[in-house]
Amino acid sequence: MVHRNLGKSAIGLGEFVRRVAITLLMIGMALALWRLAALAIIIFGAVLLAIGLRAATRLIRQGTGIADGAALGIAITGVVAVSALILWLFGSIIAGQVDELKRQVPAGVSLFVELIQTNRFARFAFEQAREMPVPDTTGKVALLLAQAVRSLAAAVGYALIMLVVAIYIAAQPALYRDLMLKAVPPAYHGRLDELFHRVETLLRRWLVGQAIVMASITVLSSIGLWLLGIDAALALGLLSGILSFIPYVGTILSTVPAILVALNVGPLHVVWVVLLFCGVHLVEGDVITPLVQAEATALPPVVSLISIIVFGTLFGPAGVLLAAPLSLFFSAVLQTLYIDPMTERTNR
């Protein structure tokens, strides 16, 4: 009897040590990922791009019956060719309108400041702000500009690395999946393979839906601004479509320059621009998104906003940009590795 109890105690101690070791390993991996946040974002962005390339490859292969490698080559070539064609057709127009934005936006800011200063309380606040000491303002502005240039250069470099890694992953997805499976015990291969499939399906559906949403917002915003007689309508519409990649925050960011440009036309046009953007995003939220996004890829508003804050804090601007797909990824991880096993144990 005594020997049995000792045996049970030894087994319990071994299990305790194993769990502590696993916990410490997970904490260490989390700290390593946090320290290598840029690398984690590059890998995730590359995987996201690879999923998009694989989706295009699948469509081409199904439509033509050609080999997988040739279909991937056509998908990559098609993306580059379409991008070059758009730049060639609209580059001069967009460039001209961006120059117009550079002129119109500061003028709109000046008009906005003049309107605010007509208010007695706002004027008092401006006067107080002028009296505040602002040492070496020029130097600070120059430093901010230098930091912005460095950040832009780093972003371009990261994007190129991301694209190269995405092409390699899209060319041999099974190879990298098998490498990851070899890193875990065989007993967990089925669960991990299920996670791969769920993540790929979720992100593919989200990418397709998001592309349709961005194109719709670009077209609707550009046409609406053009009908209202707002300068740089195409540039503002493209900006609105691109920023719609960021849930909720992108909508606000894209509205501000349009309002500043509209101020140069007149206060009434500001009202029309605000109503236009409200109408476009109302149509997008109530009609377009429900049609193109599956229920599994639709994030509740509170979750979207919290994810932007959390991932923005952890990864910076790249985390804000990828907040939605990152949320979908972690929801798939939670569902596959925690909720499903717990449900299976309960049903037993």
Q: What is the pLDDT of residues 269-302, one digit of tens each?
A: 888 988 999 898 888 877 777 777 665 566 777 7
Hey, what's the torsion of the CAs at 317, 323, 329, 330, to 10 degrees? 100
For 326, counting Cβ atoms within 10 Å of its Cβ (0-12 exposed, 13-18 middle, 19+ buried), the class is buried
Residue 5 lies in a domain: no
The number of domains in the chain is 1
Q: Which residue has the higher pLDDT, 232 or 311?
A: 311
Write down the pLDDT at residue 134. 44
Residue 159 has pLDDT above 70, yes or no: yes
Residue 32 lies in a domain: no
For Cα atoms 97, 160, 314, give the angle at the middle one, nearest 5 degrees: 90
Q: Where are the alpha helices (DSSP H) in 37-136?
A: 37-64, 68-117, 120-131
Q: Give the rounded percent of residues in the chain with a pLDDT score beyond 70.
A: 69
Q: Number of C-alpha atoms within 13 angstroms, CB side, residue 28?
A: 6
For residue range 57-79, what is the model confidence (pLDDT) as tens digits?
888 888 888 888 888 888 888 87
Residue 30 lies in a domain: no
- 109: its two tokens: 């800011």
For 235, counting Cβ atoms within 10 Å of its Cβ (0-12 exposed, 13-18 middle, 19+ buried), the class is buried
Residue 150 DSSP one-character state: H
Longest Cα separation, the chain: 92
Residue 35 lies in a domain: no
The pTM score is: 0.69
Amino acid (1-letter code) at residue 243? L
Write down the pLDDT at residue 98. 57
For 223, counting Cβ atoms within 10 Å of its Cβ (0-12 exposed, 13-18 middle, 19+ buried), the class is middle
Domain boundaries, position 333: 40-133+145-341
Mean pLDDT of the 236-243 span: 82
For residue range 84-118, what is the model confidence (pLDDT) as tens digits?
765 665 555 555 555 655 666 566 666 666 666 66
For Cα atoms 190, 51, 77, give the angle at the middle one, nearest 5 degrees: 145
Residue 347 lies in a domain: no
Question: 136-142: long-range contacts (C-beta < 8 A, 24 or more apart)?
Answer: none
CA 66 to CA 60: how far, in whole Å?
A: 8
For residue range 1-46, what is the model confidence (pLDDT) as tens digits?
444 444 444 456 666 776 777 777 777 766 766 667 778 888 888 9
Mean pLDDT of the 126-130 span: 57
